[in-house]
Amino acid sequence: MEMYDKSISSCWEGYQDVMEDIKEDWCDWAIISRPYSDLQECLEIEAERFGLGFPNPSAEQIIFKTHQTHFANCTLAETTFSDPPEDVLLAMIIAPICLIPFLVTLVVWKSKDSEARA
């Protein structure tokens, strides 16, 4: 296991070098997804090379270290939904209510018209 730990430390060092070049954009997934995926792939390859399963405690430790080092200050940007303005809401409610009697009248009128032709 000690050989594996030394082997995956090279994965961590390579990842660190790439992340140092990125600097401020650590929270932008579009930018960091490639280095993060490369780190995970490196950890998986090394685990396979040593006949270990993935994830394993050593790989998890590296991944946790990554999250603590680079992503601790990242937050999910959730969009907050708010109610529409009152006039828009009123229009959305009243329009179908007013439309229903008109459509019922149209259907009745057309059905009477088709009966008269028959």
* Cα 79 from Cα 2, distance rounded (Å): 46
Residue 52 lies in a domain: yes
Do 61 and 9 belong to one domain?
Answer: yes
Question: Taking the CB of residue 93, how many other CB atoms lie within 10 A of it?
Answer: 10
Residue 97 lies in a domain: yes
Average pLDDT over residues 31-36: 90
Question: Taking the CB of residue 28, how many other CB atoms lie within 10 A of it?
Answer: 11
Do 89 and 110 belong to one domain?
Answer: yes
Give the pLDDT band of residue 10 (cuts 50, 70, 90).
very high
pTM score > 0.75 for this model?
A: no
Do 59 and 99 belong to one domain?
Answer: no
Based on the structure, what is the number of domains in the chain? 2
Q: Name the DSSP class of 3.
A: H
Residue 37 gets the label, from left (phi > 0), alpha (psi -120 to 50) or beta, of alpha
Per the structure, the complete domain to which residue 107 belongs is given by 82-118
pLDDT score at 116: 67
Question: Taking the CB of residue 7, how many other CB atoms lie within 10 A of it?
Answer: 17
Residue 53 lies in a domain: yes
Do 8 and 42 belong to one domain?
Answer: yes
* Residue 56 burial (C-beta neighbours within 10 Å; 0-12, 13-18, 19+): middle
Do 97 and 65 belong to one domain?
Answer: no
Q: What is the per-residue pLDDT across 99-115, written as a single tens digit (0 to 9) for each?
A: 999 999 999 998 887 77
Do 32 and 53 belong to one domain?
Answer: yes
| Separation of CA 26 from chain center | 16
Give yes or no for residue 31 having a pLDDT over 90.
Answer: no
Question: Taking the CB of residue 8, how many other CB atoms lie within 10 A of it?
Answer: 22
Q: Check if the beta carbon of residue 5 is closer than 8 Å to that of residue 58.
A: yes
Q: What is the per-residue pLDDT across 45-101, written as a single tens digit (0 to 9) for each?
A: 999 999 999 889 999 999 999 989 888 888 776 667 888 899 999 999 999 999 999
